[in-house]
Amino acid sequence: MRMLRRVLLLCVCAVLLAAVPATAGLFGDKFEDEVVTETSAVKLVREVQQGGYDVVTTEELKGWIDGGRKMIIVDTMPFEASYAKGHIPGAVPFEFPVPLMETWDTTKTAGKSPADYEALLGSDKDMLIVVYCGFVKCTRSHNGAIWAKKLGYTNVVRHPGGIFAWKGKGYPVETAE
């Protein structure tokens, strides 16, 4: 388990370091930039450890989609403000809040209940569930992943780069407008 955590930490750090612009040092203090990167990396690792789910990179997720892997992809951002304007192809919307939602609060999930989330995810508790939001610092996907685990789903994965990383790779998006 410790080896898995170390590998996960290294992968997360590599993804975060790759996301830092090469010119960051030219426009800011490289040491301050490193503190920001470290803070984000540690926060993400701790969320993953707390949630008991796994993570997937943008390239891996694209490969799964292109390969026809069976999964449910959940976009956790507000429908009108985000999902409708552009989401990962095949993703279904289910809004979660940014702050940690330890107990279910329908005022923070667009009026939807745990039963609604379970109905969206389906009856196969071993189905691959991929949850994402906007970007690494956004924690809507953390809430979505935690609640999928709480509802008994065993194969839950968070795509931390979210729609920003997806678009950053130049991958296509769908709209609901």
Element (H, E) at 110: none
Q: Rounded distance, CA 11 to CA 9, Å? A: 5
Task: Write out the residue limits of the CATH 3.40.250.10 domain(s) in the chain.
Answer: 52-177
Q: In the β-sheet with 54-55, what is the strand arrangement from edge to edge? A: 54-55, 155-159, 128-132, 72-75, 92-93
pLDDT tens, 72-114? 999 999 988 889 999 999 999 999 999 999 999 999 999 999 9
**What does the CA dihedral 151, 157, 161, 165 come to, rounded to 10 degrees?**
-120
pLDDT over threshold 80, residue 176: yes
pTM for the complete prediction? 0.81
Residue 145 in tokens: 């992943």
Mean pLDDT over each residue of the chain, to the nearest integer: 87
Count of CA atoms in the C-beta half-sphere (13 A) of 34: 4
- Looking at domain 52-177, its CATH architecture is 3-Layer(aba) Sandwich (3.40)
